[in-house]
Structure 1
Amino acid sequence: MSPTTRELIVRGARQHADRVAVVFGEKELTYAQVDRLSNRLAHVLGEAGAGHRRRVGLLVNNSLLSVPLDFACVKAGINRVPLNARLSVAEHVTMLTDTRCELVVLGPDLTDRARELAAALPQVVFLGLETSLDDEPSLLRRAENAPASLPEVPVEPDDVILTLFTSGTTGTLKAAQHTQASYAAICRNVLLNLFPATRDDVMLHAASLIHASGVFVLPLWLRGGRTVILSGFLPGAFLEAIPRYGATATTLVPTMIQMLVEHPAFETTDVSAMRRVIYGASPMPRPTIERAMRAWGRERFWQYYGQTEIPLCIAVLRPEDHDGARLAACGQIATEIDLRLLDEDGREVAPGEPGEIVVRGPSASAGYFAAPELTAQTFRDGWVHTRDVGVLDDNGFLFLKDRTSDMIISGGYNVYPREVEDVLLEHPAVREVAVVGTPDERWVEAVTAVVVVADGVEPDDELREKLVAHVAEKVASYKKPRTVVFRDAIPKTAVGKLDRKRLRVELRDER
């Protein structure tokens, strides 16, 4: 039986007690301090009703307390439900309602959002991490008098400790469930395939720790490395942080790298300590990675391909393979991952032929929360059906060809057309709409809305601005159209469905 995530956290604390574990600005916490604080927070959360196997929403941004809070939840056996602060109130309400969360932990910079949610969800208790919505003491204040011992919780390997939302093929929110065992397996996956961390490593985090960036915390913790957390990503501040903290590794999405290479300080930044720039989450524009490698050296860049359902890496493109035609690949298959390519009838395709990528491995999630039909479609006989289409070459390099869904990956975030289309159709000026992704140098894919206006409506720039603003009011800002194209008609398939594939081709040819 492999160790649970909780056991790995306890092990890291015991082995590296006096070393610095977490850095945020000028503040530091040692392994022992993180361990004791997370124990205290675990006890306090339990006293507040957030006990073993209870789902608790986390409305927090990156901070010094990010790691202690996450570890507290794992130690208490809590099933944490991270809430991306960039999402809208309506999306947060849906997430909390669907997962039946009775408690939410909020960060001090998100009290306004928490008040909006509290008004919409009066049955939910909101617990301030450092501040409070009312006169109740914060969790941090309560923790001062809580026991520093590990809470006694009957943890099981199949206990769900993370319910992580992503989107379905129709834009419907879905929540992948990771367990004590699967999250520990993610740690092993990273150490085996992507980042064999050491006690000398310093990893710089600018992306939100609730996404892929946070996956690297536990591998580093287990090996005695240092986690440096930034409050967010600003290219200039990020470049300054590399030599300031002696960063040896970082993880970025392609849009971040694009913003970095455009910064005037990119080529002059001291990156002598930096050994690994790990990137993934969306396709990388070739001009961007080539420019980055020219400035910082090919030997620093590592690409991974994975999904929320089976993180972190299904395949890895190592630095030595960042060359020629292989730059279009997402890498070779990870050590403990099985991969097959299937045709529409579920049969393995011939070598060199495209097929849907299906995978299995110990890091696979335990299905989706409260979505049996979607779980049955995606998780079949131990295999995860990714809905991505790929090809394997003679040397075992995996090349992505297409997605079986119409998902758009913009700036590392998933955007599903149907969700944006539904919002646009609420506007009285819109008669018909199709949303697709179009190539973009910065965002990789730009959300593009093709609109047929209602009778008597003038399609002009003012209307474009109104439609974009309308979407921004309803959903997360990154989902709003970056381009609105007006047309007299939208292409349809033979059965009358929106033909997004044809539309993407037409827009590309027009460009």
Structure 2
Amino acid sequence: MPNLSGIVVADWVTMGARQHPGRPCIVMGDGSSRSYAEIEERITRLGSAMTAHGVTRGARIALLATDSAEYLETMFVCAKLGAAAIPLNYRQTVPELAVLLDAGRATWLFVTRRYLDMAVALRDRVSTLETIVLIDGEADGVLGYEALVAEGSPEPWRIAVDDEEILLIAFTSGTTGNPKGVMQSHRMYKRKSVAGAVEYRVRQGAFRYSAAPLHHVGGSGMVFQGLSRGASTLILPQFGPEDVVEWLGKGLNSVFLVPTMISRILALPGIRDARFPALESIVYGAAPMPPSLLAAAMEVFDCDFYNGFGAGTEAGMQAVLGPEEHRRALAGETHLLQSIGKPGVGVDLRLVDDDWQDVEPGETGEIASRSEHVMSGYLDQPERTAQVFHEGWFRGGDLAHFDAEGYLYFDGRKDDMILRGGENIYPIEIEDVLSSHPSVREVAVVGIPDEHWGQIVRACLVPGEGYDEDALRSYCRERLAGYKVPAEFRVHAELPRNPNGKILKRRLRQEVTS
């Protein structure tokens, strides 16, 4: 059924420009801001100019940059043009990014000067990539962002975009030849944004910040939640604990942080004596909150806490642990901090076995959910899509169990994905790189617990001739984003295997953590 309203998420900017034109939409780290009316005019001009340069409905527009107002404006323009944005992780290497741009068939790339050399190299490697736009200045051979805005017309324009058209393509892996491109529709983003605003009790006109980068669902998702309520959003290029504390003192009402970030803030000198009267809530995710850390954070920040859980890229928010449960935990029911909460607004959630049958209460099963904020599927991979959907239910490999009160407890992943500080790391990417080095005979990569990051990467390997750990680490750094490079290397005479020859990673995890 077509989207009869024709409303896209960027129309929340248009609505804001009508209802509160002078209210800041985006606040930058230097204290400057752009109002809803200013953002509306800029994206109108930018969209007009991009259309004149040949961008049409269905185009693929990639972004390689740290967070900025221009980054958000580009995402808004893509929504209004009916183009799909492809946010890229700026910590990945040129070979990794080339795989993703090839798979996404991107034609335009918006980039900051810091990554311009990478962008030029990518244009030489990716056949579909034709146009580079430099966000922060001018350079030969590329278009200038502000020049595009200036040349565009301020006359309003509108393209009717259907709910099921794709707004974002979010890639969840890089170095493998078969990356998963999660297709996120306008329907998905609208529904999950509104559900998040309801669940996190976002009020009209709030001032909010997310420490997750805009290329991550935790970053863009929080922005669009705020837009749906006419909120103002603080944009910092990257997270810095001192910067966040400074802005908390300037009136931030709500922030998203992962527990490791909260820990870094609490380690700042004098923080225990600070007071933040405007702060209403902290949303966290990606890792459990230790009881001692929560107690310290609640004492310092004196606000509500929310734990949001979900297969965010593919299925949005699935469960939430709210302020009431956090206060119960602080009062002595500390087991609640191990919970990921209860199903969120508009989410139907089950725990199933491999045959899609419900498991008994207390037993571990795979999380299966259905809602209006589930992805449309994996780009150009119908077989892979069919593996995770069944009669409208999505399951992405997360395991959990229910307690007697109906609270969910996360029991890990069916696959071997490593979650380091909010970043998803797929071991096969690292194993492929390590196994290509002549000094590595066999390798298996596992995640092990770490108090700061949640998990870190450890490579268990059987060495060959000429093995040198420092040289191998350098080899990885040339081919992998820094957060994927193993923090530790462990040498084995042989790797444990089952009778079929499969490496027993579960045994490796037990060995390395014992």
Tell me if both proteins adopt one fold, taking TM over 0.5 as the criterion.
yes
| Structure 1 equivalent of residue 96 of structure 2 | 91
Distance change in 2, residues 1:286/1:410 (3 Å): farther
Tell me which residue corresponds to 2:355: 345
CA-CA distance at 1:330 after TM superposition: 0.6
Secondary structure, in 3 states, of the residue corresponding to 1:339?
strand
Return the letter of the residue paired with 1:440. D
1:106 aligned to 111, 135, 141, which one? 111
Q: For each residue in 1:390-414, what CA deviation from the matched residue of structure 2 results, as whole angstroms up to 9, or x when unmatched?
A: 1112222111112101000001101
Q: Measure how far apart 1:156 and its partner are.
A: 1.1
2:286 to 266, 281, 305: 281
* 2:183 is the counterpart of 1:177: yes
- Match in the other structure for 1:472: 477
Cross-structure match for 2:224:
218
Unaligned stretches of 5+ residues in structure 1: none
Do the aligned partners of 1:169 and 1:407 also contact (CA within 8 Å) in 2?
no
CA offset at residue 171 of structure 1? 9.3
Tell me how far apart the structure 1 counterparts of residues 268 and 376 of structure 2 sit (CA, whole Å).
Answer: 42
Cα distance in 2 for partners of 1:167, 1:119 equals 22
2:129 to 96, 103, 124: 124
Aligned to 1:269: 274
| 1:129 CA displacement | 2.8
Match of 1:12 in 2: 16
What secondary structure does 1:216 align onto? helix
Q: Kindly tell me: are residues 447 and 4 of structure 1, through their superposed partners in 2, closer, same or farther at Cα, counting changes over 3 Å? A: same
Percent identical pairs in the alignment equals: 31
Q: Distance in 2 between matches of 1:311 and 1:202?
A: 26
Alpha carbons 2:275, 2:301 under 8 Å: kept:
no
- Given candidates 438, 442, 452, the residue that maps to 1:428 is 438
Q: Which runs of 5+ in 2 are unaligned?
A: none
Question: Are 1:499 and 2:501 an aligned pair?
Answer: no
Q: 1:252 to 1:312 in 2, by over 3 A?
A: farther
Q: In structure 2, what is the Cα distance between the partners aligned to 1:329 and 1:446?
A: 22
Q: Assess, with a 3 A threshold, how the Cα gap between structure 1 residues 222 and 294 changes in structure 2: closer, same or farther.
A: same
| Structure 2 Cα separation of the partners of residues 192 and 149 of structure 1 | 34
The Cα shift of 1:132 comes to 4.2
Partner SS state of residue 273, structure 2: coil
Report if aligned partners of 2:310, 2:316 keep a CA contact under 8 Å in 1: yes
Residue pairs, 1:296-445, within 5 angstroms: 296-297=301-302, 299-322=303-326, 323=329, 324-445=334-455
> Is the partner of 2:172 in helix, strand or coil?
strand
Of 351-360 and 150-159, the range deviating more from structure 2: 150-159
Matched residue SS, 1:131: coil
> Which segment drifts farther, 256-265 or 357-366?
256-265
Deviations 1:320-359 (A, max 9, x none): 2121111000111112000011112221111221111000
* Secondary structure at the counterpart of residue 388 of structure 1: strand
Taking the aligned partners of 1:275 and 1:65, their CA distance within structure 2 comes to 28
Whether the 8 Å contact between 1:189 and 1:312 is mirrored in structure 2 is no
Q: What is the Cα deviation at residue 195 of structure 1?
A: 3.6
Cα distance in 2 for partners of 1:395, 1:434 equals 39
User: For the residues of structure 2 that align with 1:168 and 1:132, how far apart are their CA atoms?
Assistant: 29
Contact 1:83 1:92 in 2 (8 A): yes
Contact 1:58 1:83 in 2 (8 A): yes
Aligned to 1:73: 78
Q: Which amino acid aligns with 2:236?
A: L
Partner AA of 1:437 in structure 2:
G
User: What is the CA–CA distance in structure 2 between the aligned matches of 1:316 and 1:275, rounded to whole Å?
Assistant: 17
The SS at the match of 1:353 is: coil
In the alignment, the residues of structure 2 paired with residue 179 and residue 204 of structure 1 have an alpha-carbon distance, to the nearest angstrom, of: 24
Partner SS for 2:361: coil
Please state how far the C-alpha of 1:101 moved relative to its aligned partner: 1.1
Does residue 155 (structure 1) correspond to residue 155 (structure 2)? The answer is no
Q: 2: distance between equivalents of 1:150 and 1:368?
A: 34
Q: Which residue of 2 aligns with 1:55?
A: 60
Out of 430-439 and 166-175, give the one that drifted further.
166-175
Q: Is the 8 A contact 2:99 2:177 kept in 1?
A: no
Q: Is the 8 A contact 2:377 2:385 kept in 1?
A: yes
Equivalent position SS for 1:352: coil
Query: SS at the partner of 1:5?
Result: coil
Q: Distance in 1 between matches of 2:358 and 2:142?
A: 59
Residue 310 of structure 2 aligns to a residue whose secondary structure is strand
CA contact (8 A) 2:308 2:321 kept: yes
* Structure 1 CA distance for aligned equivalents of residues 318 and 445 of structure 2: 29
Specify whether residues 27 and 131 from structure 1 end up closer, same or farther in structure 2 by C-alpha distance, changes over 3 A only.
same
Any residues of structure 2 matched to 1:212-251 within 5 Å, and which? 212-244=218-250, 246-251=251-256
Contact (CA 8 Å) 1:172, 1:419: kept in 2 or not? no
SS at match of 2:146: helix
Q: Give how far 1:480 is off.
A: 0.6
What is the aligned length?
Answer: 501
Following superposition, the deviation at residue 239 of structure 1 comes to 1.7
Q: Is this contact kept in 1: 2:197–2:229, CA < 8 A?
A: no
**1:285–1:444 CA contact under 8 A, matched in 2:** no
CA shift in 2, pair 1:65/1:47, >3 Å: same
Evaluate the alpha carbon distance shift between residue 328 and residue 450 of structure 1 in structure 2; reply closer, same or farther with a 3 A threshold: same
Q: Deviations over 1:112-154 (max 9, x none)?
A: 2212212323652212234344255513213213222332312
For 1:368, give the aligned amino acid: Y
Q: If the length of structure 1 is used for normalisation, what is the TM-score?
A: 0.93
Tell me the residue number matched to 1:488. 493
Shift of 1:97: 0.4
Contact in 2 for aligned 1:436/1:448 (Cα 8 Å):
yes
8 Å contact 2:257–2:282 — kept in the other structure?
yes
2:322 and 2:123 map into 1 onto residues whose CA distance is 47
Say if 1:379 and 1:385, in contact at 8 Å, map to a contact too. Answer: yes
Give distance in 2, aligned partners of 1:452 and 1:171: 25
Conserved 8 A contact 1:204-1:249: yes
- Distance across 2 between alignment mates of 1:312 and 1:266: 33
Q: The residue matched to 1:223 in structure 2 has which SS?
A: coil
- Does residue 40 (structure 1) correspond to residue 50 (structure 2)? The answer is no
1:186-222 Cα offsets, whole Å, 9 max, x none, are 11111121242321x1112333112112212122223
Look up the equivalent residue of 1:358 and give its one-letter code: A
Shift of 1:238: 2.1
**Structure 1 residue 249: deviation in Å?**
0.8
